[in-house]
Structure 1
Amino acid sequence: MFPSFFIAHGAPMIALENNDYTQFINELGKSLPRPKAIVLFSAHWESQTQQVSDVEEFSTIYDFGGFSEELYRIQYPAKGQKDITHEIIGLFEKQGISFSVDTSRGLDHGAWVVLRLLYPNADVPVISMSVNSKLAPKEQYQIGKALAALREQDILIIGSGGTVHNLRALKWAEDNGQADDWALAFDEWLEGRLKAWDVDSLFDYRALTPASQYAVPPYGSEHFVPIFYAMGAADQEREAKLLHRSYRYGNLSHSVWQFG
């Protein structure tokens, strides 16, 4: 059975960079058995109703500005997989989860940056999924849990975001791997709760760790919540492993978690 993963997608430029983090994700893709398909929840696709893609071939969305022109020339023409989309629809209907099917949206950089590092040739089918940061964490977890059966079919489930993601706090001139104390405090608290599979504390993270107000700022939790979708997909095993963690720009966390 495939594990599920939470993978930080970092700043868009990692799509062009060769560093420890990009190398790690690339090697992760090589180390895994080849998946039948990938179901990916992206922080950059927010929707009040759960969206499920049914796209024949994805376009590439450049949902950012002010970066190198080379970044805007990247294409990631992954194909969809209609039968898996239909299976997801059936699983959601069985669990009473509201959803809508999207037939046109391309892959945003939260999706294609990670996918391109894992599978550079865009040769693994993809089903793109939205996130809803307004849902309670327990509900996000339940959506992931509803898809757990897919892992038995060699389908890889990924949540793409960032455990510490506060654009207003980034220090773009500081790229030395050092991290602010509050970023470390939050990630260390999170590590303990994830490894213990303490969902009660995780679902109440805002109240239980003061660092959350900086790591997951009140104006935006969309980068953090994909971890609950990925975690829910491994509810049967309840095992969490931290595979990688590093920092850039003072507090931007590059973390990879494996569940199951």
Structure 2
Amino acid sequence: MDAPIRLPSLFLSHGSPMLAVEDSPAGRFLDRLGGQLPWPKAIVVISAHFMTDRPMAGGHLQPHTVHDFGGFPEPLYQLRYPAPGSPDLAATVVQRLVDAGLPARVRENHGLDHGVWVPLRRMYPDADIPVVPLSVMPHGTAAQHYAVGQSLAALRDEGVLVIGSGGFVHNLGELDWQHRDGPFESWAQDFSDWMHVKLAAHDWPALLDWQQRAPHAHRAHPTVEHLMPLFVALGAAGESPGVRTLHRSHEFGTLALDAFAFD
């Protein structure tokens, strides 16, 4: 049997839950993305909406679809993403985290929140690839999340796709819900541009200190959970990864939907 092809790790911005069904630049990008990658045997998704005080991996054999949002059209709540889970992979993930000195554990009955199923529904609509969700730590640092990713890097050689699902700029209080296609606010553009420059330059020290160095850092991310998946994906790519910008777009004036591959 041929050895699995090494997969990149990805950071994807999952945007509004409407990304699951609406026609948009980000949605069309995700529709194409799955077919552009080597086919994974399983997927680990680090989701901004799975928040714990220490790393946890969902170990359910058949995880349920979680509709962890409110105020959206009723058909959105009828959607299901019935991908199988993988308790064995969840146990492997946790063991590698523990071996790296991280106090991880399995959460047996955890479902798939919209940070997981919204992008996967566009990328892999048949829901036939096993999925393991992995948590972020909302009080953790970028360096701690980078270390989580480092402990998972070898999974990429085993046919496992590691995806960080969050948001590149994410401030719900400043969204202009009346104008989905409105212009990008200047402060959000400044933050986004700084992040792109540092990623392209492989300036990991600056990125890991983004809260102190990036312009408008607190305004771009009043809470950090939507950016932390980027650092897990970056750590999972190994010591000196290439950085590819896969997609850039925005919605509602401030919501950046950028996506990256690290390999």
- Identify the TM-score tier after normalising by the shorter chain: over 0.9
CA offset digits 1:125-168 (Å, max 9, x no partner): 00110000211211110000100000001110000000100001
Residue 147 of structure 1 aligns with which residue? 152
> Quick check: 1:57 aligned with 2:62?
yes
* Structure 2: runs of 5+ lacking an equivalent: 1-5
Q: Distance in 2 between matches of 1:258 and 1:161?
A: 14
How many residue pairs end up in the alignment? 258
Residue 141 of structure 2 aligns with which residue? 136
Q: Distance in 2 between matches of 1:222 and 1:90?
A: 23
Q: Distance in 2 between matches of 1:114 and 1:147?
A: 21
Residue 222 of structure 1 aligns with which residue? 225
Contact persistence 2:195–2:214 (CA under 8 A): no
Counterpart among 17, 20, 36 of residue 12 in structure 1: 17
Report the alpha carbon displacement of residue 90 of structure 1 after superposing the two structures with TM: 2.5
Q: Distance in 2 between matches of 1:55 and 1:237?
A: 34
- Aligned residues: CA RMSD: 1.1
Report the alpha carbon displacement of residue 19 of structure 1 after superposing the two structures with TM: 2.2
Counterpart among 67, 92, 96 of residue 97 in structure 2: 92
1:165-176 correspondence to structure 2 within 5 Å: 165-176=170-181
- The residue identity in structure 2 corresponding to 1:240 is V
Residue 252 of structure 2 aligns with which residue? 249
- The residue identity in structure 2 corresponding to 1:230 is A
Counterpart among 227, 234, 243 of residue 237 in structure 2: 234
- The residue identity in structure 2 corresponding to 1:221 is V
> Quick check: 1:258 aligned with 2:261?
yes
Moved over 2 A (4+): 235-238
- The residue identity in structure 1 corresponding to 2:47 is S
SS of 2:33's partner is helix
- The residue identity in structure 1 corresponding to 2:89 is I
Report the alpha carbon displacement of residue 181 of structure 1 after superposing the two structures with TM: 0.4
Contact persistence 2:56–2:94 (CA under 8 A): no
SS of 1:22's partner is helix
| CA shift in 2, pair 1:32/1:177, >3 Å | farther
| More divergent stretch after superposition (86-95 vs 22-31) | 86-95
Q: TM-score, normalised by structure 1?
A: 0.96
Report the alpha carbon displacement of residue 177 of structure 1 after superposing the two structures with TM: 4.7
Residue 70 of structure 1 aligns with which residue? 75
SS of 1:140's partner is helix
Q: Distance in 1 between matches of 2:90 and 2:69?
A: 28
SS of 1:127's partner is strand
Report the alpha carbon displacement of residue 183 of structure 1 after superposing the two structures with TM: 0.7
> Quick check: 1:180 aligned with 2:151?
no
Q: Distance in 2 between matches of 1:127 and 1:38?
A: 6
Q: Distance in 1 between matches of 2:97 and 2:217?
A: 31
Residue 110 of structure 1 aligns with which residue? 115
CA offset digits 1:65-102 (Å, max 9, x no partner): 11111000000111112322222133122211111211
Contact persistence 1:177–1:246 (CA under 8 A): no
Aligned-pair identity in percent equals 40
Residue 84 of structure 2 aligns with which residue? 79
Contact persistence 1:9–1:161 (CA under 8 A): yes
Q: Distance in 1 between matches of 2:89 and 2:201?
A: 32
